[in-house]
Amino acid sequence: MGSWHQGKLFIEHSLTINHDALHVIAGVILLLLIGIVMRRPIGSWNLWLWLFALALWNETVDLWIERWPDPECNMARARRT
């Protein structure tokens, strides 16, 4: 999990794109790639479920790696961004 997080940080710091815009771009690219692999139309609910699962996994890695002194600090940071 640590290497996934390090790779994300490298990409975020290498590009001049906003953090939120990078998530949108990555989500669209992943949706298209999953559609190509599964040979389904973009509006298929299967694709959206796979994308949702990947997003949940990504957020789980973020919460697992980024440790704060107490959970309230971590949640406060998530609400600010």
Q: Note the residue count of the chain.
A: 81
Query: With 70 as the cut, is the pLDDT of residue 15 above it?
Result: yes
User: What does the pLDDT average to over 9-15?
Assistant: 79
The more confidently predicted of residues 19 and 71 is 19
Residue showing tokens 């999990």: 1
pLDDT at 39: 92
CA atoms of 34 and 10, how far apart (whole Å): 24
- Reported as a single tens digit per residue, the pLDDT across 51-77 is 999 889 888 877 777 666 666 665 555
Sequence spans of domains, the chain: 2-80
- What does the alpha-carbon distance between residue 73 and residue 75 come to, in Å, rounded to a whole number? 6
- pLDDT for the residue 49: 94
pLDDT tens-place string over residues 21-52? 888 888 899 999 999 999 999 888 989 999 99
Q: Give me the pLDDT at residue 81, please.
A: 53
